Structure 1
Amino acid sequence: MSSSFLFPGLSRRTLLKAAGASATLAAAGLPTRLFAADPIKVAAVYTVPVEQQWVSRIHKAAMAAKERGDIEYVYSENTSNSDYERVMREYAEAGNKLILGEVFGVEDAARTVAADYPDVAFLMGSSFKPDDAVPNFSVFDNYIQDASYLSGIVAGAMSKSKTIGMVGGYPIPEVNRLMNAFMAGVKETAPDAKFQVAFIGSWFDPPKAKETAFAQIDGGADLLYAERFGVSDAAKEKGVLAIGNVIDTQADYPETVVASALWHFEPTLDKAIAEVKAGTFKAADYGVYSFMKEGGCSLAPLGTFEDKVPAEVKAMVAEKEKAIKDGSFTVEINDGEPKSS
């Protein structure tokens, strides 16, 4: 195929000059870039529906990048662990330059795929660290402990029984650290609070989460930490309060969800897109881009509870948020399994 067909209006001489300039930059150790107007092809492989909290934030960021014209975006949802490797390979073969996903159950297989496609960038949710042996495989995680801590401050003040129920998916680091940060926040306003902690063994089983929450309410909890879908439904039915995680569901539960710790995946994805476009993508830990100081998380507006949360508690939240952002206060990252107390 001729160059004039690929780039109408550009002469062969102009194209050769451009190619020569790129070669000079590469020889000098400087990154070559795609044309600014060229979106990169991005694919994502999800094991759950895109409506699920965690994945929905990745999907939202990808859709925003697509709407800006930075990327082309395709995705697969509800992909089983046994099928994950095949789908990854198909996307790599299809010419995608960046592949997103969550590989908590298929870590070894995913890294094997990445090794087989060294010209493709992989950015995957993972409990493990990057490995220089697979230089095109980067990891991320939802390090939103800052926002979780702030939501705990609110929760401790809003609970009357000082007994709080917590329903999680699995006791893995990415869940544990948020629960522990939330519990630390609760202790700021309710030092004597008690916790009922349970895990349902699933990332998406709203009926099971709901039943588990009912049991905690029966056990005296008047506020629930809704790490999974289904918990806020139980809270609404029983007339108790809930704290959201990763997404803001207050619009669906206006009299139930007091506050939510929000995850913003945009800083993580935008960094990866920039690296891919610059030709500088490498194995790295993108977890830091979920920190509050990087814009990766926030406490959702109190909305319908704005006038119900005590003024002194809102002042404490504002003070702690400022300290987190300026680095004078650091929320502990505790990946240990939280226990009932």
Structure 2
Amino acid sequence: MKVAAIYTVPVEQQWVSRIHKALNAAKARGEIEYVFSENVANADYERVMRQYAEGGHGLIVGEVFGVEAAARKVARDYPRTAFLMGSSGKPQAPNFSVFDNYIQEPAYLTGMIAGGMTKTGRIGMVGGYPIPEVNRLMHAFMEGAREINPKVKFTVSFIGSWFDPPKAKEAAFAMIDQGADVMYAERFGVSDAAKERGKLAIGNVIDTQAQYPQTVVASALWHMEPSIEAAMRKVKDGKFTAEDYGPYSTMKHKGSQLAPLGTFEGKVPAGLMAKVRAKEQAILDGKFVVKVDDSEPKSTP
């Protein structure tokens, strides 16, 4: 099977790296031929999509948050090609499926850890853009923190970029100057600021504990493998249709998890971790559902 991916940012960016990892794993197993384009400008996205469709790629993967209309037009023009696209919109029959990182469940768990680890009671949160895919994770994190520490306060800002580590770092510095001692690192650069100032950070989408052993306490991990494997299977069986692949990112489908604590194993109070593990089990058992709130999160007044 020929699979192509189109990314608007470098493949090392957190979100895209998880898609790239899953597709490379399928390539390593000999299941697909995989090619990709990175740093594709929005203005060029439609042309690249058409190029891959014309090249006979049976499955095209990407993120179309800034180019929804153009991408959906291409899908209509190539009804026999399967498209699996990160999107805030709905599936489009017959061949345009959507996904995003529904990792609000482990985000809630990391929030619980943050709420129990902050000493100042103030947490800083730096995001890329206030879109549903980001907002729901921030809200879940905030609710988790409030479960442990109802009086915790949040400072929230968005840098207007998916990949600008220096800008994210400066935004984090400003929050630390205002008293934040735990940072929610939705973007690259935030953990660097926390490390330099001797504060703690919570990771998102990928596990950077090894790179920040004294800084990153916990992370909410996204695994794109269940989504990719389901899409490949349906393409191979001739059963690919327009669907929402979001649920494949939930913990039940092994699409997300709370990362191992690594060097913070034993440093996070045992009582706190007991509450986190109990909540984790309740989520897996279906006894607790993390609320999905796509509205823009705000700083505590």
Paired with 1:322 and 1:222, the residues of 2 have a C-alpha distance of 28
Alignment-derived partner of residue 255 in structure 1 = 214
**Deviation string for 1:299-336 (max 9, x for gaps)?**
00001001110111111111111111111110001101
In structure 2, distance between residues paired with 1:131 and 1:113: 12
Structure 1 CA distance for aligned equivalents of residues 85 and 223 of structure 2 = 16
Q: Which residue does 1:148 correspond to in 2?
A: 107
320, 327, 330: which one aligns with 2:289: 330
Counterpart-to-counterpart distance in 1, 2:255 and 2:225: 7
**2: CA distance, partners of 1:256 / 1:129:** 38
Off by >4 Å, runs of 4+ in structure 1: none
SS in 2 for 1:259: strand
CA offsets per residue over residues 250-299 of structure 1, 9 Å max, x none? 11110000000000000000000000000000000000000111111000
Cα distance in 1 for partners of 2:280, 2:23 equals: 27
Asked if 1:79 is matched to 2:79, the reply is: no
The count of residues paired between Structure 1 and Structure 2 equals: 300
Aligned equivalents of 1:199, 1:139: Cα separation in 2? 24
Alignment of 1:1-341 (within 5 A): 40-132=1-93, 135-341=94-300
Taking structure 2 as the reference length, the TM-score comes to: 0.99
For 2:52 and 2:222, how far apart are their aligned partners in 1? 26
Structure exhibiting the larger radius of gyration computed from Cα positions? 1
Q: Which runs of 5+ in 2 are unaligned?
A: none
Q: Distance in 2 between matches of 1:223 and 1:318?
A: 21
TM-score (norm. length: structure 1): 0.87
Counterparts of 2:92 and 2:73 in 1: how far apart (Å)?
12
Q: Match of 1:184, SS?
A: helix
Contact (CA 8 Å) 2:3, 2:57: kept in 1 or not? Answer: yes
SS in 2 for 1:255: coil
CA distance in 1, matches of 2:201, 2:240: 40
- In the aligned structure 1, how far is the partner of 2:9 from the partner of 2:146? 33
Partner AA of 1:323 in structure 2: A
Aligned-pair identity in percent equals 71
Deviations 1:179-219 (A, max 9, x none): 00000010111110000000000000000000000000000
What CA RMSD, in Å, does the superposition of the two structures yield over aligned residues? 0.6
